[in-house]
Amino acid sequence: MRNEPFEVRKIAGNIGAEIHGIDISGDLPEETVAALRKAWLEHLVLFFREQDLPPARFHAFARQFGETQEYPFVKGLEGWPDIIAVAKMENEKVNFGGVWHSDTTYLEKPPMASMLVAREVPPKGGDTMFANGYLAYESLSAGLKKVLDGLVGVSSSAKADVSKTREDRIQSDGTNTGKAKETLIARHPAVRTHPETGRKALYVNTAHTTHFDGWTVQESKPLLDFLHEHQIRPEFTCRFRWRVGSVAMWDNRCALHYPLNDYHGYRRIMHRITLAGDIPR
């Protein structure tokens, strides 16, 4: 569909849209930024192709949507502390963040949004999948919704499945502040209300949610296992194939993502910016 001054093309039934006919490398008019934000809130993740975004331009684009923030475990690029390299080298077997998750929910104020730009991609593989947290919640039974509406999830930065995906980058690019060895913990509603759309989204993820507050890990596990499987049902997801110059921006408040690790022997390098969020309610 045409949505001046750009075109929106959905890539799946329930999440994700490519934006065509726009160059995001320069300052955008306020009305264009507003239109992009409207499309982003509707589709949860937007994709752009063939964009020329060196760090300064990438940073300027991000700042039109919010305040950037630094990642606690990996230092940023030289001169750009809030832009990190998300990389897997030819000799590495584990990819950064290679598990379904919403970014850094172990922070008191998790990021509102994340943005990636592709610098180097493998000849095949390395796609990223996204899942719709609104539909994950809305498709549950009334009884389970009632239970979840009263629960608080505990998120930790030290869950084994995700912490091991940071090891290569911490070894090569870890921060010098001591945070690389620090365990960060935060408590957030299992169901959060999006501050801009007013919709409720399931807000737990297998990478960071360890248990429900007031429940033991063992008591929490069966329900969390069900929710983690439920929230990535195929009809809730989309899949994006990267090319050099591709850009993605997604809403961490209502979407999960998963970078696939199916390109051993090849290099994949992305640059990432996160935008500051609020305390989930």
Is 257 an annotated catalytic residue?
Answer: yes
The two beta strands, 45-48 and 17-20, are parallel
Is 82 an annotated catalytic residue?
Answer: no
Distance CA 187, CA 157 (A): 12
Token pair 């390109």 is found at 263
Is 272 an annotated catalytic residue?
Answer: yes
Find out whether 183 and 156 touch, Cβ atoms under 8 Å: yes
Find out whether 116 and 270 touch, Cβ atoms under 8 Å: yes
Other Cβ atoms within 10 Å of 218 Cβ, number? 8
Per the residue annotation, which of 166, 228, 253, 272 is the catalytic one? 272
Per the residue annotation, which of 43, 101, 208, 228 is the catalytic one? 101
Distance CA 159, CA 113 (A): 22
Is 101 an annotated catalytic residue?
Answer: yes
Per the residue annotation, which of 43, 59, 82, 103 is the catalytic one? 103
Distance CA 40, CA 37 (A): 5
User: Which residues lie across from 45 on neighbouring strands?
Assistant: 250
Per the residue annotation, which of 59, 257, 268, 271 is the catalytic one? 257
Q: Which residues are catalytic?
A: 101, 103, 257, 272
